[in-house]
Structure 1
Amino acid sequence: MSFLNEPAPSPAVQARYDADLDAYGFVMNLSHVWAHVPGAHTRLFELLAEVGSAFSFRERGILITGAASTIGDSYCSLAWGWKLAESGSGDAASGVLSGTDADLSPREAALATWARRVAGSADRTTAADVQELRDAGFSDEEVARATVFVALRAAFSTVNAALGAQPDAELGTLAPPEVAALVTWGRPVAD
Structure 2
Amino acid sequence: MTRLHLVRHGPTHAKTMVGWSDLPADLSDHAAIGRLETHLPSNAVVISSDLSRAADTASAIQGTRQRLPHHADLREINFGTWELRPFAEIEAEDPELCFAYWDNPGDVRPPDGESWNEVRARVDAVVDTLIADNSGRDLVVVAHFGVILTQIQRALDVDAQEAFSHRIDNLSVTEITRLEAGWSVGRINHRP
Give TM-score, length-normalised by structure 1: 0.28
State the structure with bigger RCO (CA 8 A, min sep 6), 1 or 2.
2
